[in-house]
Amino acid sequence: MKQLLNISSDFYFYLLLGLLFLVNLTIAGSYILFTLLLIGLIIYLFREKKLPPAPRFYKYLLIYILFSLVSTIFSIDKLNSLIDNKEFFAFLLVPVVLLIINSEKRRLYSLYAVLASALLSASIGIIQTIIKGGVSLDYRLKGLTSHWMTYSGLLMFAFIFFVVYLFYEKRKKTKIALIIVSAVILVPILLSLTRSMWVGIFAALGIFIVYFKPKILYIAVPGIIILFFLLPQSVKSRITSIFDPANATNKDRIYMVSTGIKIFKDYPLTGVGPNNVKKVYPQYKPAEAEFDNPHLHNNFLNVLAERGILALLSLIAAFIAIFVFLVKKIKNSGAEEKRIALGVLFLFFGFLVTGLFEYNFGDAEIKFSLFYFLSIPFLQLSEAGPTSPPHVVGSAGVEKES
């Protein structure tokens, strides 16, 4: 019973490890474990009678939630928007992670769980490709997830983080292992034919290499060119389609922009309500647009149309705050903390770039993974190593750098 009452106990830590492992494999299983974790958080609130710890950027996410709730009140379909608001529970993963992962050992095990999950999910995708005899736009690789965007998005997080992580790894065997695992994870990302993930990875790791050691580009650029010619024709055609203005999906992205702006003009303050773009899209889209879309394939545009200008501004403020606090963490940290913060920073940048072409912030699995990663640079570790900077916890339980 004592294990159930203490959210920092091994019981809840194992639940969190299970969640991190299952998020790539089954959303139903993830929700079950997350529900148990939320029960632990509720017990913590009743016992401690204080707010749980949270990074300083978290308040901006709470403001975004507030304006989203206001949007729900004025929604064109209040019930539909209210049901969609269950997504806000995922935001509670941030304080849950900070409460449970309280040592370097636990943080390391949590990263192992994420890496093992990504490796298994990637392996399943490769096996599916072999069984199907290849990939095409008629058969999009999605592993055990519900959608190829979710599948490749989760793998993208792990790939970017651990590629950055391995650049700072000193142990030869560990570095070799990370290179092999990262290569395995990259294969299904390419085979998923998900262009937005490719752009996000290319932008994030390209900028990281410039930051880490620009001379690596002399090797990386020829390597990418060689890789391109070795790729299956379906993947090469998909890559070249990124630059094709006549491509149907490229044109549709342009139609979505004009449609989103039209919706915003009619509902500037509160939008049409969460999850309601699909209800009004047919009446706002241009006559030449072929498709009816459930969302606008862009985080910022979709939030603007769904939730209005105030929600969008609060979300932008949250993203800026996350970026600023990660940069500060990198500047003020020792070696281990720095490489974790760097991995999260470039992972987050990849997420933002991808979000220009896909509404990935509306995906529950993506939120689980994203909020885990955004939490780990700000953990309050009781067994901090010698390279870790000292820190204190403010009166509201929010971490502050010393």
Q: Tens of pLDDT along 90-136?
A: 999 999 999 999 999 999 999 999 999 999 999 999 999 999 888 88
**Residue with the larger pLDDT of the pair 385 and 68:** 68
Q: Tens of pLDDT along 145-155?
A: 989 999 999 99
Please tell me the number of Cα atoms within 13 Å of 343 on its side-chain side. Answer: 27
Residue 94 CB contacts under 8 Å (≥ 6 apart), including other chains: 54, 55, 58, 61, 371, 374, 375
Rounded to an integer, what distance in angstroms lies between the CA atom of residue 164 and that of residue 170?
13
Do residues 341 and 323 touch, judged by C-beta distance below 8 A?
no
What's the confidence (pLDDT) of residue 2?
Answer: 57
- Domain spans, the chain: 2-245+296-401
Q: Report the chain's C-alpha Rg in angstroms.
A: 21
Considering the chain, what is the average pLDDT of its residues? 90
Q: Tens of pLDDT along 222-277?
A: 888 888 888 888 888 888 888 888 888 889 999 999 999 999 999 999 999 999 99
Where residue 392 falls among pLDDT bands split at 50, 70, 90? very low
What's the confidence (pLDDT) of residue 224?
Answer: 86
What's the confidence (pLDDT) of residue 15?
Answer: 96
Do residues 26 and 144 touch, judged by C-beta distance below 8 A?
yes
Q: Which residues pair with 136 in a beta bridge?
A: 139
Q: Tens of pLDDT along 182-229?
A: 999 999 999 999 999 999 999 999 999 999 988 888 888 888 888 888
In the numeric block, the tokens 């989760």 are attached to 154
Average pLDDT estimate for 26-44: 95
**Residue with the larger pLDDT of the pair 347 and 221:** 347
Where residue 400 falls among pLDDT bands split at 50, 70, 90? very low
End-to-end Cα separation, the chain, in angstroms: 37
Measured from the Cβ of residue 168, the count of other Cβ atoms closer than 10 Å reads 15
| Short-list 373, 360, 382, CA closest to 114 | 373
Where residue 3 falls among pLDDT bands split at 50, 70, 90? low
Average pLDDT estimate for 294-309: 95
**Dmax (CA) of the chain:** 63
What's the confidence (pLDDT) of residue 140?
Answer: 86
Q: Tens of pLDDT along 281-298?
A: 999 999 888 888 889 999
The runs of H, that is alpha helices, within 49-103 are 58-73, 78-84, 93-100
- CA dihedral 305→307→313→316, nearest 10 degrees, is -80
Burial letters for 255-283: b for 16+ Cβ neighbours within 10 Å, e otherwise? bbeebbebbbeebeebbbbbbbbeebbee
